Structure 1
């Protein structure tokens, strides 16, 4: 099969070449990949640390080529979307059936390929906040792939959605079109406490967002785009003055159980047009260097999709 292989001898660190086909475990199905979407973490950190010849990739959408030997998961010929433990940047990918969702037959698999990391991270982070109907929810880093899904899903859940971005003038209209009621330049610009935060930024912005939590509020730390640590000033963790019972929780998508039904639900919403995958770059995997370069240089807001084959 063909695959995008890690290769430090090339400017982009990738080359399209032949690779061994996957050898699936009994609980894994083999998917013939139609499309994959790229994530900053796998491009910036995964590719940098991968040995030459490795096949990376987390988001995969395609059709089941070989069903799981243990009888779990979808049958041969079923359109699916899955969260891969690497290997999605290839014509064939082995995936665990419990992180595989079924896709409507008429769906655009390129659009659906944005669901596993971005869509599922946003959905599960919002679940950590508890019921959000009528509550004020802040989404930081709202112009990224996870952030854009979080804004839409929070609005669907009945929240008053506040989107935070470094450039409200440039991105405000787009975020309001996705469902944001307010667009702010950062947590410090909030005029009232919030009940929940989905944070994709980390660093000092996470500290500011935590300070804006009201009583019994929760902050879910999903992303760490700044690459900086968090330093809380003395008093930030006091419980008086309306700060009682606030919490900060960490998040790791592969540790979440039962993702298969979530992926099925998200894929159906994308296929129905109820969720916009916000694809800002799409092209052939022959153009992978262009896509990864745009991601690393922070020129993309939303998702980048590679069509495979």
Structure 2
């Protein structure tokens, strides 16, 4: 089968080649991939998390061509989207059935491929903040894949959403998704917030923590800045106790959350915000666009044309 593998000597670290198809475990379904998506984290840190020859990729959507041997999960022919820590950028993929969600007919594969890593991360991070009705929530890196899902989901949860972006152009469309305020600097946030969903890290994490009110929290989701964070905990202790920083980890068993998000997409209550589309042979181009901050939302690659 054809796949994109990690090759540190190739442009953007990706090389198209023929590889052996996967052999699913007992609790894995074999999925024919129709669309996949790229996430900033897996592209930016590829050299740190991949070995040469390994197939990268977290998200994919397609059709089950072999159901799991243990009888769990979707049956053959089911349209699904799923998450796994690798091997999405290939024609065939073996996925744990607990990490597969069955798709409504109204949701196309490209939209579905945008959901697993970014959508589920945003959903679970919003839940981790607690009840949000009438509370102020700051989302940094709001123009990215996780950020645009988080804006919509926090708005649905009843929050007053403050979207922080790198520049005004990156903030386009965020008010339509549910942001009540769009800022380009955190000193433009004039009142404390109950929660922060931080996708940027670096110095911005400490700035955002200083805005959190007593009883609130900051979820550290990502590090788009690719810079470490330094927090003066003594200063923060003097300012106010009763706040926390959580190192967010998305966890496992994605299936039910993928199905929930897909149901919202089917009802047009959630927009996957695909900012770049193309054939998977253009994966290097998509990766460069993500790293260059030229994609608002998700970058999605298509492997097979869907029947009309």
Residue 218 of structure 1 corresponds to: 217
TM-score of the superposed pair, with normalisation by structure 1: 0.94
Q: Is the 8 A contact 1:47 1:56 kept in 2?
A: no
> How many residue pairs are counted as aligned between the two chains?
304
Aligned to 1:250: 247
Q: Which moved more, 1:88-97 or 1:171-180?
A: 171-180
Change over 3 Å in CA distance of 1:299–1:158 after alignment to 2 = same
Q: Residue 8 of structure 1 aligns with which residue?
A: 8
The alpha carbon displacement at 1:239 in A equals 5.9
- The reply on whether 1:148 has 2:145 as its aligned counterpart is no
Output the CA distance in 1 between the equivalents of 2:109 and 2:201.
32
Q: Cα offset for 1:277?
A: 1.1
Instruction: State the match for 1:105 in structure 2.
Output: 105
2:80 is the alignment partner of 1:80:
yes
The 1:234–1:7 alpha-carbon spacing in structure 2 relative to 1, beyond 3 Å, is: closer
Measured on the aligned residues, the alpha-carbon RMSD in Å equals 1.6
Q: 1:152-231 alignment to 2 at 5 Å?
A: 152-167=152-167, 169-231=168-230
Could you tell which deviates more after superposition, 265-274 or 215-224? 265-274
- Confirm whether residue 260 of structure 1 aligns to residue 255 of structure 2: yes
Tell whether 2:272 aligns with 1:273: no
Does residue 1:288 correspond to 2:283, yes or no? yes
Q: Secondary structure in 2 aligned to 1:197? A: strand
Alignment match, 1:300: 295
- Provide the residue aligned with 1:135 in structure 2: 135
Alpha carbons 2:41, 2:224 under 8 Å: kept: no
Asked whether the 8 Å contact 1:211–1:236 carries over to 2, the reply is no
Tell me if structure 2 keeps the 8 A contact 1:161–1:181.
Answer: yes
Alignment gaps of 5+ in structure 2: none
Distance in 1, matches of 2:14 and 2:204, equals 33
Q: Distance in 2 between matches of 1:209 and 1:87?
A: 35
1:244 shift after superposition: 3.4
SS at match of 1:120: helix
User: How much does 1:23 deviate?
Assistant: 1.0
Aligned counterparts of 2:15 and 2:67: Cα–Cα separation in 1: 29
Higher alpha-carbon deviation: 229-238 or 197-206: 229-238
1:239–1:123 Cα change, 3 Å: farther
Are 1:34 and 2:34 an aligned pair?
yes
User: Per-residue displacement from partner, 1:141-197 (whole Å, max 9, x unpaired)?
Assistant: 000100000000001111110101121x32344111111001112322211000001
Q: TM-score, normalised by structure 2?
A: 0.94
**1:12 Cα deviation after fit:** 3.3
Q: Report the Cα distance in structure 1 between the residues aligned to 2:178 and 2:24, rounded to whole angstroms.
A: 41
Measure how far apart 1:104 and its partner are: 0.6
Cα offset, 1:100, TM superposition: 1.1
Give the distance between the partners of 1:8 and 1:204, measured in 2 at CA: 29
Residues 175-234 of structure 1 show CA distances to partners (whole Å, capped at 9, x for unaligned) of 111110011123222110000010001111110111101110110000111122222236
Q: Give the Å deviation of 1:16.
A: 2.0
